[in-house]
C-alpha cells in the first residue's frame, strides 16, 4: 500500500536508459546517502542507512546496486534490483576496515553490468553529494574512462510525478496535517520547541509515516527569522509568533506543511505581515499552471509583493520542487529557463521576515493544465490559539 509497485521501478530504469543513450553515455553511476537518499531509491527502493549506495546503470542491460559491506541482508530484502555488489567506497564514514569481508571494485561492477561492452564515457548522477572515495576510485580503477556530470539524465525523470507518486505524496501531506492538529491541541507556554517536535514525531509514525520528510521546524519569537535553523530548548511564549514546518515521509515521498501561529494575540505589526504572507502564498498558487515559464512566476510574484509594499521583507521563495526529497529540483527562480508541466509538484514556500521575526507558509501543489491541485490546505489560515 505504501510503496511504488515493482513494475514502475522497471519502467524508470528503461526511461533512464533511454536518457543515458540520448546523452551519448555508455553508463551512469548514481549516488545517494542516508539523508540524500532519493536517486538510488528512485531506481531500486533501497534506502542506504549508515552507509551510502550507488546504482550502476548501463545504456543497455541490467543495472547493479552498489552497497557498503554491512548491508547485504538488508539490500537483498529491499532492493528491486537483484544484482548487488558490496564496495568499501560505500562504507560508513567512520572508515571501518571489515577484515574478512570480500568487496568488489569498479571494474567488477562494470563487468557485471556490461559484460564485454566497452565503457568510454561514464555519467555521474548525484554529483553534488558524490564523495571523494568514489570519485578517486573511479579515476584509479577505470583509467581512460571519461567522467561527466549527468544529473539531468535522472532528475528529468523525477520531476514529472506518476499517479503512484502523487498518491504517496498526498498520504504524506495528510499525515503532516494530523501532526499539526496534535501540536495545536497540545502546545502550551513553557513547552520547549524540541518538545513540540516530539509531538510531531509521535504523530508521523503513529499514522503511517516512515520518517520525517525534512528537519522539522518549531521556532518561537526571534528564532522564526531564520530560513534554515534547528529547534532549541527555548520555551514557547504567549503572544509570540510560533513557526511550525512539519513534514512526514511515506514510501519515500516527502511533504511539509508550514503554518505561523501564536498562543494568544499577536501584535498588529506582526499579524499584518503574517496575513500578507498568506495573500502572497495564495497569489503564487494562482500564478502556477502548465505551460507557464517558471521565471515568469517569480517576476509576477515579486511584482505583487512590491506593489503591496513588502519587498523589503522578502528573502526567499516562491517555490521549489518537492517529491522524494522535501527540496528537490527544479526550483522556481528568476533565472529558471523551463516551463511548468502537468504533474510537476512544487512546495509553495512563502517566507517573509522583519527585524525581529519571520514567517513561512508552506503547502504542496501538483501542476495541472489549468492551474494547481493542492496537496494540503487545511492550515492555510492564521491560527491564534
Listed in sequence order, the residues at least 6 apart from 37 whose beta carbon sits closer than 8 Å to its beta carbon are: 47, 48, 252, 324
316 binds a second copy (CB under 8 A): yes
If binding is defined by CB under 8 A, does position 228 make contact with a second copy?
yes
Contact of 326 with 247, CB cutoff 8 Å: yes
Q: Which residue in 109, 95, 96 sits closest to 62, CA to CA?
A: 109
Pairwise CA distance, residues 40 & 270, whole Å: 43
Q: Which stretch binds a second copy (CB under 8 A): 10-18, 199-207, 237-245, 373-381?
A: 199-207
C-alpha 187/C-alpha 175 separation (Å) is 18
Span near a second copy by CB under 8 A; candidates 112-120, 220-228, 240-248, 277-285: 220-228
Q: Which is nearer to a second copy, 114 or 246 (CB)?
A: 246
Minimum distance from residue 358 beta carbon to a second copy (Å) = 9
Per-residue DSSP letters for 156-193? HHHHBPPHHHHHHHHHHHHHHHHHHHHHHHH--TT-BH
Scanning residues 240 to 299, which ones bind a second copy (CB under 8 A)? Answer: none
Kindly state the cell numbers that stand for 213. 520528510
Told to check if 34 binds a second copy by CB under 8 A, we report yes
Contact 338, 319 (CB under 8 A): no
Which one of 7, 14, 95, 102 is in contact with a second copy (CB under 8 A)?
95
Count of residues near a second copy by CB under 8 A: 72
Q: Could you give the string, one character per residue 107-146, with x where binding to a second copy holds by CB under 8 A and - elsewhere?
A: -----------------x-xxxxxxxx-x-----------
Give the binding range for a second copy (CB under 8 A) out of 170-178, 194-202, 264-272, 360-368.
194-202
Taking only Cα atoms into account, the Rg of the chain, rounded to an integer number of angstroms, comes to: 22
Does 103 participate in binding a second copy (rule CB under 8 A)? Answer: no
Binding residue for a second copy, selected from 309, 335, 355, 370, defined by CB under 8 A: 335
Amino acid at each position: 500500500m505504501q510503496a511504488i509497485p515493482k513494475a514502475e521501478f522497471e519502467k524508470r530504469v528503461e526511461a533512464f536508459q533511454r536518457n543515458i543513450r540520448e546523452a551519448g553515455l555508455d553508463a551512469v553511476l548514481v549516488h545517494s546517502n542516508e539523508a540524500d537518499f532519493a536517486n538510488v531509491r528512485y531506481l531500486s527502493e533501497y534506502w542506504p542507512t549508515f552507509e551510502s549506495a550507488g546504482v550502476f546503470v548501463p545504456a543497455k542491460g541490467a543495472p547493479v546496486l552498489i552497497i557498503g559491506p554491512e548491508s547485504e541482508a538488508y539490500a537483498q530484502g529491499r532492493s528491486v534490483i537483484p544484482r548487488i555488489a558490496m564496495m568499501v567506497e560505500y562504507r560508513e564514514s567512520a572508515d571501518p576496515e571489515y577484515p574478512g569481508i570480500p568487496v568488489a571494485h569498479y571494474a567488477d561492477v562494470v563487468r557485471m553490468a556490461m559484460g564485454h561492452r566497452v565503457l568510454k564515457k561514464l555519467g555521474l548522477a548525484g554529483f553534488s553529494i558524490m564523495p571523494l572515495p568514489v570519485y578517486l576510485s573511479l579515476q584509479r580503477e577505470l583509467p581512460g574512462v571519461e567522467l561527466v556530470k549527468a544529473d539531468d539524465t535522472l532528475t528529468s525523470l523525477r520531476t514529472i510525478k506518476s499517479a503512484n507518486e502523487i498518491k504517496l505524496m498526498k498520504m504524506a501531506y495528510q499525515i503532516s496535517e494530523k501532526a499539526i492538529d496534535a501540536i495545536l491541541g497540545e502546545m502550551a507556554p513553557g513547552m520547549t520547541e524540541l518538545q513540540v517536535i516530539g509531538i510531531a514525531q509521535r504523530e508521523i509514525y503513529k499514522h503511517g509515516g516512515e520518517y520525517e520528510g525534512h528537519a522539522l521546524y518549531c521556532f518561537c519569537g526571534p528564532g522564526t527569522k531564520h530560513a534554515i535553523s534547528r529547534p532549541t530548548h527555548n520555551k514557547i511564549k504567549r503572544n509570540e509568533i510560533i513557526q511550525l514546518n512539519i513534514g512526514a515521509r511515506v514510501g519515500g515521498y516527502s511533504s511539509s506543511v508550514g503554518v505561523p501561529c501564536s498562543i494568544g494575540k499577536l501584535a498588529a505589526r506582526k499579524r499584518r505581515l503574517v496575513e500578507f504572507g498568506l495573500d502572497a502564498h495564495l497569489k503564487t498558487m494562482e500564478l502556477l499552471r502548465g505551460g507557464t515559464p517558471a521565471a515568469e512566476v517569480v517576476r509576477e510574484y515579486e511584482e505583487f509583493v512590491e506593489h503591496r509594499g513588502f519587498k523589503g521583507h522578502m528573502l526567499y521563495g516562491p517555490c521549489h520542487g518537492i517529491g522524494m526529497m522535501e527540496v528537490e529540483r527544479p526550483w522556481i527562480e528568476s533565472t529558471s529557463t523551463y516551463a511548468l508541466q502537468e504533474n510537476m509538484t512544487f512546495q509553495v514556500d512563502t517566507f517573509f521576515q522583519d527585524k525581529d521575526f519571520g514567517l513561512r507558509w508552506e503547502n504542496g501543489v501538483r501542476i495541472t493544465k489549468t492551474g494547481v491541485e493542492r496537496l494540503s490546505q487545511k492550515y492555510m489560515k492564521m491560527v491564534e490559539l
